[in-house]
């Protein structure tokens, strides 16, 4: 092996490196190619093994050439690396480019639970008649939940309400929103036009149409004069507002110790599959109840009604089982938009 032959090998290597390097398109591949040319076990090192065969005075010359070739290849690789990097960056930008005109992910919008939704619907209708929302309390006392509503202790009509009593004597979970009538009357004199929505509790065996926890909306009007026909007119409007303009109502005699006379109100509409459905109890406020509320029954009259929110929500939305209201199943809840 002489100087010329070694030089030729190096130049050939340089030439072929040029073709190979410019053909590479990925960084990792270029790294491999770079070390196979320039590395410790690379092609140049391999060629320079032949240096031992050269006469001593030629060795520095081939060293100079080898350095030249090494530098040239190194420059090729570096230049190629820059190009590849730029290409890769451009590709990445292209890949990750966001298109501002693409529709975004739909935001998840919540909706009212059917119980508050129904209470809101009732509130809106009653607001048109001047009724404002007031609040009662869930923990009541026996006196307000029963006695002041004309239901004495040991009165058989208490059997209408399966009461959950608290440990503290005289305390209970309200069985209806009617004690709110007493509290409202005591809090301020007539004229009164309130609705009292809220949760009530009864000791009931739970099934598709009974819960031990449910909602009512109480309505109370007290003024110098109020009549059963006023009550009828308002309840007719309420029924039509809730179930549609073609809704019919039926007023049947009912019994509640705190109203006299008392009525039960049924609704029906064209195509309603269950015929008449009872949605509320109502009546003229009993004089004794007015008195218990601090109002003179000689000068004032009132009417009251109490409706079951679950029942109404079930009828409005065709819900077959009221247990669904408490299960928090998102598939059920998201059905009311
Ligand atoms: N409080 C009665 C009930 O729970 C409903 C009612 C309210 C009846 C007001 C008449 C007047 O069944």
Q: What CATH number does residue 239 fall under?
A: 3.30.930.10
Nearest protein Cα to ligand 1, atom 10: 282
- Asked if 88 and 119 sit in the same domain, the reply is no
Longest CA pairwise span in the chain (Å): 138
**CB atoms inside a 10 Å sphere around CB 54:** 17
CA 324 to ligand 1 center in whole angstroms: 24
Residue 326 is assigned to a structural domain of this protein = yes
- Asked if 193 and 328 sit in the same domain, the reply is yes
Q: What does the alpha-carbon distance between residue 131 and residue 110 come to, in Å, rounded to a whole number? A: 28
Highest mean pLDDT among 106-110, 223-227, 269-273, 332-336: 223-227
pLDDT of 297-309, one tens digit each?
Answer: 999 999 999 999 9
pLDDT bucket at 157, cuts 50 / 70 / 90: confident
- Asked if 90 and 122 sit in the same domain, the reply is no
* 54-68, 159-173, 206-220, 244-258: segment of lowest average pLDDT: 54-68
Residue 82 is assigned to a structural domain of this protein = yes
- For residue 216, which atom of ligand 1 is closest to its CA? 4
Supply the pTM of this predicted model: 0.71
What mean pLDDT, rounded, does the chain reach? 92
Q: What 3-state DSSP class applies to 181?
A: helix
Which of the listed residues 176, 200, 257 should we mutate to test ligand 1's pocket, taking the one with most ligand atoms within 8 A of CB? 176
Q: What does the alpha-carbon distance between residue 201 and residue 172 come to, in Å, rounded to a whole number? A: 9
- Asked if 63 and 177 sit in the same domain, the reply is no
Domain around 209: 114-333
Measured from the CB, is residue 311 less than 6 Å from ligand 1?
no
Which of the listed residues 199, 200, 234, 281 should we mutate to test ligand 1's pocket, taking the one with most ligand atoms within 8 A of CB? 281
Measured from the CB, is residue 304 less than 6 Å from ligand 1?
yes
Q: What does the CA dihedral 69, 70, 75, 78 come to, rounded to 10 degrees?
A: 150
- Tally the domains of the chain: 2
- Asked if 83 and 192 sit in the same domain, the reply is no
- Asked if 169 and 281 sit in the same domain, the reply is yes
Q: What does the alpha-carbon distance between residue 292 and residue 307 come to, in Å, rounded to a whole number? A: 23
Residue 49 is assigned to a structural domain of this protein = yes
Examine the pLDDT at 66 and tell me if it is beyond 90: no
Measured from the CB, is residue 178 less than 6 Å from ligand 1?
yes
Domain end among 46, 70, 96 = 96
Residue 164 is assigned to a structural domain of this protein = yes
- Asked if 263 and 129 sit in the same domain, the reply is yes
Examine the pLDDT at 1 and tell me if it is beyond 80: no
Residue 102 is assigned to a structural domain of this protein = no
Q: What does the alpha-carbon distance between residue 169 and residue 142 come to, in Å, rounded to a whole number? A: 9
- For the chain, the distance separating the N- and C-terminal CA atoms, rounded to the nearest angstrom, is 90
Asked if 131 contacts 195 with a C-beta cutoff of 8 angstroms, the reply is: yes
pLDDT bucket at 229, cuts 50 / 70 / 90: very high
- Asked if 167 and 230 sit in the same domain, the reply is yes
Please compute the mean of the pLDDT values over residues 116-137 and round it to a whole number: 97
Domain end among 96, 128, 152 = 96
Measured from the CB, is residue 146 less than 6 Å from ligand 1?
no
Per-residue b or e along 270-305, where b marks 16 or more CB atoms closer than 10 Å to that residue's CB: eebeeeebebbbbbbbbbebbebbebeeeebbbbbb
- For residue 220, which atom of ligand 1 is closest to its CA? 9
* 30-34, 190-194, 212-216, 306-310: segment of lowest average pLDDT: 30-34
Examine the pLDDT at 241 and tell me if it is beyond 90: yes
Q: Return the pLDDT at 175.
A: 95
- Asked if 143 and 231 sit in the same domain, the reply is yes
Please compute the mean of the pLDDT values over residues 40-68 and round it to a whole number: 84
């Amino acid at each position: 092996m002489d100087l010329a032959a070694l030089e030729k090998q190096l130049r050939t290597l340089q030439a072929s490196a040029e073709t190979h390097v410019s053909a590479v398109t990925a960084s990792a591949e270029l790294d491999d190619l770079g070390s196979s040319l320039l590395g410790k076990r690379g092609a140049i090192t391999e060629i320079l093994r032949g240096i031992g065969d050269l006469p001593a005075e030629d060795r520095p010359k081939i060293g100079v050439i080898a350095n030249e070739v090494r530098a040239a290849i190194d420059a090729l690789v570096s230049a190629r690396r820059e190009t590849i990097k730029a290409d890769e960056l451009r590709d990445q930008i292209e890949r990750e480019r966001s298109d501002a005109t693409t529709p975004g992910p739909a935001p998840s919008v919540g909706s009212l639970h059917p119980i508050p939704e129904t209470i809101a619907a009732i509130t809106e209708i009653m607001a048109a008649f001047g009724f404002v929302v007031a609040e009662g309390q869930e923990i009541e006392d026996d006196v307000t939940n029963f006695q002041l509503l004309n239901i004495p202790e040991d009165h058989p009509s208490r059997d209408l309400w399966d009461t959950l009593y608290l440990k503290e004597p005289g305390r209970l979970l309200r069985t209806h929103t009617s004690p709110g009538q007493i509290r409202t009357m005591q809090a301020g004199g007539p004229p009164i036009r309130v609705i009292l929505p809220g949760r009530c509790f009864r000791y009931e065996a739970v099934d598709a149409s009974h819960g031990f926890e449910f909602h009512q909306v109480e309505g109370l009007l007290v003024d110098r004069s109020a009549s059963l026909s006023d009550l009828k007119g308002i309840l007719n409007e309420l029924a039509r507002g809730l179930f549609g303009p073609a809704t019919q109502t039926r007023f049947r005699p009912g019994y509640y110790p705190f109203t006299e006379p008392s009525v039960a109100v049924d609704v029906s509409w064209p195509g309603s599959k269950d015929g008449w459905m009872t949605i509320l109890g109502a009546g003229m406020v009993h004089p004794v109840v007015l008195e218990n509320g601090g109002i003179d029954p000689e000068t004032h009259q009132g009417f009251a009604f109490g409706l079951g929110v679950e029942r109404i929500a079930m009828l409005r939305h065709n819900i077959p089982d009221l247990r669904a209201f408490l299960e928090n199943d998102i598939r059920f809840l998201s059905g009311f938009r």
